[in-house]
Amino acid sequence: MADHFERVKEYILDLGFSIDDEIPEDEIVVINDEDRGIHELVIDCENDLVVLEQLILKLDGEASAAVYRRILQMNRNLVFGAFVLNEEGDTLLYRNTLALDNLDPNELEATINALSLGLAEHGDELLGFVAK
């Protein structure tokens, strides 16, 4: 699997991102690109998958069903990946999973672009869900 990890790191660098943090023993890298809304995007090579996950925001502790419904509606417009909740339901994340065996740079770039586009399209509305 180390070969997959090295290939993913190479793709990240070829796409023009810098690796800001790395945990080699867990095959995890973290990238940032503030201009594109990428902030501590975790790229985790797990077995035969690569999981991309970024914290979007903490939700208001009293978030309503309407907020959760709206998040699901936003997902319909995302090209790749989805806005998801953590197990506690108090944190909104962006997450996408790709197969490592046939991963190419275009898939990785498309996932990152989908995150950027989703944040550009829904950022203001998402900020309205922030825990106060």
Q: Domain containing 90 — which CATH number?
A: 3.30.1460.10
**In this predicted structure, what is the pLDDT of residue 89?**
87
Any domain includes 50: yes
Q: What is the pLDDT of residues 85-131, one digit of tens each?
A: 999 888 999 999 999 999 999 999 999 999 999 999 999 999 888 85
Provide the sign of the torsion angle of the four alpha carbons 63, 120, 13, 106, taken in this order: positive
Q: Which residue has the tokens 């999973």?
A: 97
Find, among 121, 102, 2, 99, the residue nearest to 52 by Cα: 99
Any domain includes 29: yes
The structure's pTM equals: 0.92
Q: Is the pLDDT of residue 1 over 90?
A: no
Q: Which token pair is 129? A: 């869900």
Any domain includes 100: yes
The whole domain housing 106 covers: 2-127
Any domain includes 61: yes
Contact 118, 94 (CB under 8 A): yes
DSSP 8-state code for residue 80: S
**In this predicted structure, what is the pLDDT of residue 4?**
92
Any domain includes 11: yes
Q: What is the pLDDT of residues 49-99, one digit of tens each?
A: 999 999 999 987 777 889 999 999 999 999 999 999 999 888 999 999 999
Any domain includes 94: yes
The pLDDT-based confidence of 2 (bands split at 50, 70, 90) is low
**In this predicted structure, what is the pLDDT of residue 59?**
86
Any domain includes 132: no
* Counted domains in the chain: 1
Any domain includes 32: yes
**In this predicted structure, what is the pLDDT of residue 16?**
95
Q: What is the pLDDT of residues 27-38, one digit of tens each?
A: 999 999 999 999
